[in-house]
Structure 1
Amino acid sequence: MDPFLSLLHSFSSSLTDRELSSMKFLCMDKIRKRKLEDVQTGGELFTILLEQQDITRYDVAFLEELLRNIKREDLLLKLKQFVDEGEVKAPEDQPDPHEKRLQKVAMEVICDNVGRDWKMLMRKLDFCDVKMDRIVEANPRDLREQLVQSLREWQRWRGRDAKVADLITALRGCGMNLVADRVEQELSLLNSGAR
C-alpha cells in the first residue's frame, strides 16, 4: 500500500465536518465550485487535489498550508515526520528534467525486457528486499508491475542520485547485456532526437 495515500487516508478520517468545509473553502481557487459541492469527505478532496497535482508525494506545500489554516497542528506534525523519514523528497532532491526523461526511457526498456530475474537487478541497485516483498504482496500476479513499482521506489529512494548509468551498470552486473545494450540504443536515439 502506498504510504503517502495511507497518510492522506488517516488525515481524511480525522477531519471534522467543519474542518472539511474550511478546507473546501480554501480550495475554491483550485477546484471548480460544482466539483467542490460534490465533495463529502477529506478523501474525495485529496483525490481531486492529487489528480490536479496540487499535492503530490514530492510537493506537500499546499497540504501543509491547508492543515495550518484549519489549525490541525497534530496532522502537520504527522506530515512533517513523514517528510523527515524520507518518504517525501524535496524537489531539489529530484533528478533534473533531462535525467528524468532518460530514466523514463530506460525504465520502459527494462520493464519490457527483464522478466523473472528482476529481483536480481534490484539487489544490484542495493534496493531493499523488504520493499520488494511489499511490492510483490501488493501486485501478486503482475510481474511487470512488480518491476515498475520497484524501479519507481528505487528512483524515489535515490532522488537526485538515481542515474541511468547506475541502471546500465546493474544490468551488466547481472549479465543482462542485451537489455543494457538496448537501453543505450534507446538513449542514443533520444539524445539524437529520433525518438
Structure 2
Amino acid sequence: MSSSQFNKILLDISNQLSPDELDKLKFLCRDVIGKKDLEKIDSGHRLFQVLGERCKLSADNTKPLSDLLDGIKRPDLSEKLNSFESLSEYSDDQPDEAERAKLEIATQLIAETLGRNWRKLGRKLGFSEVKLESISLKHPTDLEETVIELLKEWRKSRGAQAQTKELIEALRGCQHNLTADKLEDRLANSGS
C-alpha cells in the first residue's frame, strides 16, 4: 500500500476527530511528544505527522495510533486504520497458500466453538491484557467476531510463521482438547 493511500486514511481519521477527541489524543501522547510541542498541534493530521517524525507511526506500524484511538473510545477509527493495515499485510509476509487454507478452516472452527474462553487462548498465543481488551472492544457483543479478530491479530503478528499446528498446541495448552481434536479431524477430512 502506498504512502499516499496511508496519508489519505490518516487525513480521513483526522477529519472525523472532534476537538475534544484531539485533546484526548494529545494527552495520551504527552510522553512521546512533550508538552511544548503538543501546544503547537492544532489538528489530527499534524499530530500524526509529528508521531511519524518520531518513528511512532508509519504505514507498516499503525498499532500505536490504533491503540490511541481505542484509548479515546473511537474503535470505528481504529478499525479503519486496521482495515488499511489488513490490506497491506496480506502482500508478502504470509504463509504459503496451503497453510493459509488450513488457517481459514481453523479460524472458522475455533470461532464457532471457543465462546467465552477466547481470552485464555489469546494469552496462550502471547497477547497482553491490553491487546485482549482492545480486541474485545471491537466486537463487544459478538463472541464469534471477537475470536475471528483475535485470530486475525495473531496471524498478523506471526506473518509467514503462522501455522495451524501452533493453534492446535495453544488450544491443548489451555485445555480446549475437544476443539483441537475437531480441528485436526476437519483438517484431515479437508485433505489439508
Report the TM-score, using the length of structure 2 for normalisation.
Answer: 0.58
Identity of aligned residues (%): 35
Of stretches 100-109 and 5-14 in structure 1, the one that deviates more from structure 2 is: 5-14
In structure 2, distance between residues paired with 1:187 and 1:13: 41
The one-character-per-residue Cα deviations of 1:143-194 (angstroms, maximum 9, x if unpaired) are 11111101101111110111100000001111111100000001001117xx
Deviation at 1:13, TM superposition (A): 6.8
Q: Which amino acid aligns with 2:58?
A: Q
Match of 2:183 in 1: 183
Match of 2:11 in 1: 11
Match of 1:83 in 2: 60
Correspondence 1:118 to 2:118? yes
Q: Which runs of 5+ in 1 are unaligned?
A: 16-73
Match of 1:99 in 2: 99
CA separation of 1:83/1:171 partners in 2, compared to 1, >3 Å: closer, same or farther?
Answer: same
Q: Tell me the SS of whatever aligns to 1:117.
A: helix
In structure 1, distance between residues paired with 2:114 and 2:13: 40
CA separation of 1:13/1:108 partners in 2, compared to 1, >3 Å: closer, same or farther?
Answer: closer
The one-character-per-residue Cα deviations of 1:111-147 (angstroms, maximum 9, x if unpaired) are 1111111100111111232221112112111111111
Q: Which amino acid aligns with 2:108?
A: E
Match of 1:53 in 2: none
CA separation of 1:191/1:83 partners in 2, compared to 1, >3 Å: closer, same or farther?
Answer: same
Deviation at 1:8, TM superposition (A): 4.4
CA separation of 1:6/1:137 partners in 2, compared to 1, >3 Å: closer, same or farther?
Answer: farther
CA separation of 1:163/1:140 partners in 2, compared to 1, >3 Å: closer, same or farther?
Answer: same
Q: What are the residue-to-residue correspondences of 1:1-195 with 2, within 5 Å? A: 8-12=8-12, 81-84=58-61, 88-89=88-89, 91-191=91-191
Q: Which amino acid aligns with 1:149?
A: E
CA separation of 1:185/1:85 partners in 2, compared to 1, >3 Å: closer, same or farther?
Answer: same
Which protein is richer in helix relative to its size?
2
In structure 2, distance between residues paired with 1:162 and 1:119: 19
> May I ask how many residue pairs the two structures share in their alignment?
129
CA separation of 1:140/1:189 partners in 2, compared to 1, >3 Å: closer, same or farther?
Answer: same
In structure 2, distance between residues paired with 1:133 and 1:96: 30
Deviation at 1:85, TM superposition (A): 6.2
Q: Which runs of 5+ in 2 are unaligned?
A: 16-48, 64-84
CA separation of 1:156/1:81 partners in 2, compared to 1, >3 Å: closer, same or farther?
Answer: same
Q: Given that residues 6 and 59 in structure 2 are in contact (C-alpha distance below 8 angstroms), is that contact kept between their aligned partners in structure 1?
A: no
In structure 2, distance between residues paired with 1:179 and 1:155: 19
Q: Tell me the SS of whatever aligns to 1:81.
A: coil
Q: Tell me the SS of whatever aligns to 1:92.
A: coil
CA separation of 1:14/1:171 partners in 2, compared to 1, >3 Å: closer, same or farther?
Answer: closer
Q: Which amino acid aligns with 2:60?
A: V
